[in-house]
Structure 1
Amino acid sequence: MTSDPSRTAPASPTGSAAVPPASEPATAATLVAGPSTAATQVATSGPAEAATVVTHGIDALPPGAPKEIGGVRLRRVLGKGAMGEVYLGRHATMDVDVAVKLMTTAAGDGERFLQEVRTAAKISHPNVVQVLNAGTQDGHLFLVMELVTGGDVAQLVRRDGRVPWRRAVDLMTQAAEGLGAAHRAGIVHRDVKPANFLLTGPLAGEGRLKVADLGLAKHQHATDVELTQAGVVMGTPAYMAPEQAVDSRRAGPPADIYALGVSLFHLLSGRLPYEAPSTT
């Protein structure tokens, strides 16, 4: 179900709400892999797509994919989004499994991909997925990220329906801390929703929440505004603040806070606050 926030939802706050301060380091990205190779959860997004994709692990790499990039040996495809494919890889030096995102030729938006990398590199916080490396090699743009293995909060809601209020508040507090780190770095996420809140432990456990998928993120500085066209809507309508639904360039930290509030409502009630048969 989707909603029409420009018709039915109240405007988001005019100023950024107080966000608990950050204390420890980590960084930003887009992946969560399930513990088994049979079904892997991958949170990927691009300009027109920001949804959790479920794929089966692939033992062989697809034609044209590099066997090694950025010091990482690629093992199999985990998922594909509008901006590129995500692979499971093994970092040769660190000897750990990592996630690698490769920009697709069809996407053709190298500057946007590099903005995502720069965005991720600005953030250091335990509630944001960590970026390990990025760059260009043999014509491929790549982003190396930590692997987060516990699923996402959207899966938790689908499984349990209403989330107990103490758990819901704890999760959204952690999300607020991660978003606060992004806002302090001058970054607006623009696609805040449960599917972009990844968990480090099993869904039934008490794993840490990490904010993922800054692929739609926007720097709050005017020098970056040309990367988002006027009138183009970026984000997920059901969680979107009215001003963002009109023009994504108008989305500031209050739009993220608005979407965080919608996410909390979803966890507590098991449904979205505004529902409509279409987004128009």
Structure 2
Amino acid sequence: MGDGVLIAGRYRRVGLLGRGGMGAVYEAEDTKLGRRVAVKVLSAIGGLSRDETVLRRFVQEARALARIDHPGVVTLYDEGLHEGTPFLVMQLLDGVDLARLVQEAGPLPPDVVCCVAAGMARALGAAHEAGVLHRDVKPTNVGITSGGRVVLQDFGLARLAGESAITRLTSFVGTPQFMAPEIIRGAPPGRTADLYGLGACAYLTMTGQVPFGGYLEVGAVVEHAIGAGIPRLEHRRDLPYPRELRALVDRLCAQEAALRPQSAEEVALLLAPLVGEGQAVLGELVAARLRDTAVEQVFERRPAGAVPGTPDPEGSPAPTGAPEYGWDDAAVPTQRAGAEDPFRPLTLSDTTRRMVLGSMTPQDAASRLREAVTLVLRGRLQEAVQMLTAITQVCLSSLGPGHPTTLACQYWQAVCLARLGAGGPALELFQRVNTHIDQEK
């Protein structure tokens, strides 16, 4: 399925965002409504017909998710079947995931930890109230927008995997680092299993490490998850967090489900007095990540420690740093020095050069530029930077550095950088544009 192909006759694939055990997720254009969306193609359960039980269950899960109306739950727009393979069409978020945030920022401040955990708890509470379990709460499924809003993704997909694809994949449904012990033992999931995942994510935000980071093999992780469990935090004096917060995380990570808080609402209430200015600080942290990413894209600076993208299953290369969207179910993060990125960080909407492969006429470039400018004017700066960067790279090679379209692309890149708070790089780019304009006079 190459870029430009229509999924279900409506969603034009723009670029690969990530892949994992369940399938792949793409950025796509909804040709009917003219908006960018995330399309999750569940290739691990492909080859279905309309009357199969697994497909009916998939539709039921999608409809249950669609009933959840909460700012902390990713919005589902559509579902369907494309050439026998189920897909979901979902909101494309403008931010980073919790894994990337902790990887780049390290342990988070106390009020930010509480803000993230409270946001997750409120979202889980809304889902549980609607009768939906998440079943795979982990950092790559926790999105955070530039405004500091916490949004959970991939609700219910683990159930579908557990009843279909996971048998063929011979791997766990979810990541053992964040999976409740009773689920590993084979018990049916409940609300407290989701809360265990919340606690394990909070452990990551407070320590900067996954719960069983010292163990590299899945077997060793599982052994400790169902044995000694997640190390307790309550008596750790080296952690600058309120004792009541550390005690709550310990309760959430308890081996026995009965010892954990029994509802997400209870967790949210316990965290509420500790949040303080957490959302504002969280928004600033995410904005800094987005700003740095935009500068790296515009000036083609590779982030430290970045690793090359791996091949797309369908043949095209994946963008460097592509997210896995929480679908790499067999992956176990590690903390080894020099190892590949243990969290597989999220860069939300990387269209890359593949968006504009092939020859581009000045008319084509101008059309793409107008689309990018519309994104800027709508405040969708992350998407705009990525699109403008791709167009600029093609314009530089096919039209030249002094062509008006090339200069216009660079001007709008600079506008994006300035609005993202990268004043120095924006000024550098403005000056570059002005130099070319002066030379043409």
Q: TM-score with structure 2 length normalisation? A: 0.42
Equivalence for 2:78? 133
Is the contact between residue 42 and residue 85 of structure 2 (CA under 8 Å) also seen in structure 1? yes
Give the helix-richer structure, 1 or 2: 2
Instruction: Give the 4+ runs in structure 1 shifted more than 6 A.
Output: 225-232
Distance change (3 Å), C-alpha of 1:119 and 1:83: farther
Normalized per residue, the structure richer in strand is 1
CA displacement at 1:177 relative to structure 2: 0.9
Which amino acid in structure 2 is aligned with residue 179 of structure 1? L
Counterpart of 1:177, as a letter, is R
State the match for 2:210 in structure 1.
Answer: 272
Ranges in structure 2 where 5+ consecutive residues have no aligned partner: 49-53, 220-441
Equivalents in 2 of 1:89, 1:95: separation in Å?
10
Q: CA deviation at 1:196?
A: 0.8
Shift in CA distance, 135/195, structure 1 to aligned 2, threshold 3 Å: same
Q: What CA distance in whole angstroms lies between the structure 1 residues aligned with 2:163 and 2:216?
A: 33
| Residue from 70, 92, 112 that aligns with 2:31 | 92
TM-score by length of 1: 0.64
1:190 aligned counterpart, secondary structure: coil
Q: Would the aligned equivalents of 1:119 and 1:217 in 2 still touch at CA under 8 Å? A: no
Residue in structure 1 matched with residue 408 of structure 2 by the alignment: none
Structure 1: give runs of 5+ residues left out of the alignment.
Answer: 1-60, 220-224
Tell me the CA shift for residue 82 of structure 1.
2.4
Q: 1:252 aligns with which of 181, 185, 190?
A: 190
Deviation at 1:217, TM superposition (A): 4.3
- Residue 8 of structure 2 contacts residue 80 of structure 2 at CA under 8 Å; is this kept in 1? no
Q: Of 46, 62, 80, which aligns to 2:2?
A: 62
- 2:18 alignment counterpart: 79
Checking the alignment, whether the CA contact within 8 Å between 1:188 and 1:217 is kept in structure 2 is no
Q: Which residue of 2 aligns with 1:210?
A: 151
Answer yes or no: is 1:103 the counterpart of 2:42: yes
Say if 2:179 and 2:193, in contact at 8 Å, map to a contact too. yes
Q: Give the equivalent residue in structure 2 for 1:51.
A: none
Q: Any idea what the Cα deviations from partners look like across 1:230-262, whole Å, max 9, x if unmatched?
A: 998422111121111101x42200011111112
User: For residues 165 and 191 of structure 2, what CA distance do their matches in structure 1 show?
Assistant: 16
Q: Tell me, what secondary structure is at the counterpart of 1:94?
A: coil
**Partner AA of 1:259 in structure 2:** G
Q: Which has the larger radius of gyration?
A: 2
Quote the offset at 1:277 in angstroms: 4.1
Conserved in 1, the CA contact under 8 Å of 2:40 and 2:87? Answer: yes
Note the aligned Cα RMSD (angstroms): 3.1
Residue 262, structure 1, aligned to residue 200, structure 2: yes
**Which one of 83, 92, 106 corresponds to residue 161 of structure 1?**
106
Aligned CA distance change for structure 1 residues 93 and 244 (closer, same or farther; 3 Å): same
Q: 2: CA distance between counterparts of 1:68 and 1:274?
A: 39
Between 86-95 and 151-160, the greater mean CA deviation after superposition: 86-95
Check conservation: 2:41, 2:85, Cα contact below 8 A. Answer: yes
